[in-house]
Amino acid sequence: MGTDLNAPLGQNRKVSPGRKRASRVSAARLAAACAIVAVLGGSLWSMLAPRGPFKTRQPLEQQTAQADGPTAGNAEGGAAGGNPRDKPGVRRESGQSGAEIEETRNPDGSIVRKFTPKARDGSGPLVLDASRVGQDPRSAAFPNDDLIENTAFGKLPIVGPDGLRPVEQYARPWSGARGTRIAIVVGGLGLSQTGTQRAIRDLPGEITLAFASTGNSLPRWMQEARREGHEILLQVPLEPFDDADGDPGADTLRTDAGAEKNRDELHRAMGQITNYTGVMNYMGGRFLSDADAVEPVMRDIADRGLLFLDDGSSAQSLSGTVAGALDMPHAFADIQLDGTLSREAILRKLDELERIARRNGTAIGVASAFDESVAAIADWSQEASRRGIEIVGVAALADKPSKQ
């Protein structure tokens, strides 16, 4: 106790060190708490302020309405009640992906979206399938307009703007398995109405049919054949070595006619039908052995995205050499199946064709639409499939160099 009795009460009293430290700690805690409250309060105000940096999140309907523009109810000239098709709780919007999006809000707050295609105005994106081979069976009787050129000779085949060729578009699809494969081509269709009808009716769809360019009612028969699943070729008459052995007709391509006239004759033949994968010769020993005559014709066939099938009747044919130089799809027949017109002889030739295919992996046989040929091929084809042989369209066996 102090000795100055005149000093005011409480003055000059010493403060203990422990009390000073307690006062300083309490003040620091109070300052920290105030800082925390200030930060939290500022954050909360920033989020809730209507003009702050973080705007209030709008309801889903309001966001979509702003993104897509005015709704039917408040668009200029629109009805005050909105779209009469709309129901309470249902909202429709137009997406950017080409779909109509219908949203329904359930009572529990969940949203169900329904997507349906909407009409295109032609300005949207175009999706191309570069892997197309063959046609949908429902449209196989109709040509792809992108592969058609309208000319004075009719509709001629061309390569499409995306590089698709008729040899691919009109080919008959096959399994893709690398087993034993055989193509059989029956030609001369269109020359006889009853024979053509019988061939289309009796032959399985795996058989390739070749239509004579000089035949009758070709568009009708072509469509019927395509509906039945057949791949088809166009058979064009070419000059033989000796017309006495059989005159192919006035529309024959000849060695002395000149390139321009032969191209005109070729185009006249091509304009008879559509939906064929290639051209096949009818006769043509002399023409196919003349390089100056055959090269312009083969070049035109190649430029139009078609294959050329040589029936193998002429050992002097240059079609393979020219096709290789032009880098075009090309095939050779291995056997003429009906050189002798009897069922037994044709069946023997078909068995020979099978032996060639088992040895080489593939083989091509050709025949004409005679009654005996059609009947024998129809019966043999059913048996061959049971022996593990796949009968394919001729385009599947043609050498098809890569597109440039």
Q: Would you state the pLDDT for residue 91? A: 47
Tell me if 125 is assigned to some domain.
no
Same structural domain for residues 250 and 264?
yes
Distance CA 211, CA 191 (A): 8
Q: Which tokens in the block code for residue 243?
A: 């017309």
Q: pLDDT tens digit string along 166-216? A: 999 999 999 988 899 999 999 999 999 999 999 999 999 999 999 999 999
pLDDT band at 28 (very low <50, low <70, confident <90, very high): low
Same structural domain for residues 208 and 261?
yes
Q: What is the CATH number of the domain that holds 359?
A: 3.20.20.370
Tell me if 392 is assigned to some domain.
yes
Rounded to 5 degrees, φ, ψ at 21 are -65, -35
Same structural domain for residues 45 and 106?
no
Same structural domain for residues 63 and 165?
no
The whole domain housing 44 covers 25-56
Tell me if 3 is assigned to some domain.
no
Regarding predicted confidence, which is higher, 40 or 152?
152
Same structural domain for residues 40 and 64?
no
Across all residues in the chain, what is the average pLDDT?
80
Same structural domain for residues 299 and 178?
yes
- Highest-pLDDT range among 26-30, 112-116, 193-197: 193-197
Tell me if 1 is assigned to some domain.
no
Same structural domain for residues 33 and 114?
no
Same structural domain for residues 116 and 143?
no
Same structural domain for residues 245 and 299?
yes
pLDDT band at 27 (very low <50, low <70, confident <90, very high): low
**Least confident segment among 108-112, 266-270, 277-281:** 108-112
Q: pLDDT tens digit string along 65-84? A: 444 444 434 434 444 444 44
pLDDT band at 20 (very low <50, low <70, confident <90, very high): very low
DSSP 399: B
Distance CA 125, CA 108 (A): 38
Q: Is the pLDDT of residue 52 over 80?
A: no
CA 208 to chain centre: 22
The dihedral sign for the CA sequence 166, 171, 177, 179: negative
Q: Would you state the pLDDT for residue 172? A: 95
Tell me if 11 is assigned to some domain.
no
Mean pLDDT of 240-261: 84
pLDDT band at 99 (very low <50, low <70, confident <90, very high): low
Rg (CA), the chain: 41
Tell me if 17 is assigned to some domain.
no
Same structural domain for residues 187 and 323?
yes
Tell me if 341 is assigned to some domain.
yes
User: In percent, how much of the chain has pLDDT > 90?
Assistant: 59
Alpha helices in 135-231 (DSSP H): 166-169, 193-202, 218-227
Distance CA 212, CA 80 (A): 68
Q: Would you state the pLDDT for residue 117? A: 58
Q: Is the pLDDT of residue 397 over 80?
A: yes
Tell me if 258 is assigned to some domain.
yes
**Least confident segment among 119-128, 237-246, 251-260, 332-341:** 119-128
Q: Would you state the pLDDT for residue 100? A: 63
Q: pLDDT tens digit string along 315-361? A: 999 999 999 999 999 999 999 999 999 999 999 999 999 999 999 99
Rounded to 5 degrees, φ, ψ at 29 are -65, -40
Q: Is the pLDDT of residue 94 over 70?
A: no
Q: Is the pLDDT of residue 7 over 60?
A: no
If one counts the domains in the chain, the total is 3
**In one letter, which amino acid is 65?**
A
Same structural domain for residues 226 and 335?
yes
Q: Would you state the pLDDT for residue 36? A: 74
Q: Would you state the pLDDT for residue 47? A: 56
Regarding predicted confidence, which is higher, 308 or 98?
308
Distance CA 92, CA 266 (A): 57
Q: Which tokens in the block code for residue 353?
A: 């064709």
Same structural domain for residues 220 and 96?
no
Mean pLDDT of 274-285: 96
**Least confident segment among 104-108, 303-307, 358-362:** 104-108
User: In percent, how much of the chain has pLDDT > 70?
Assistant: 68
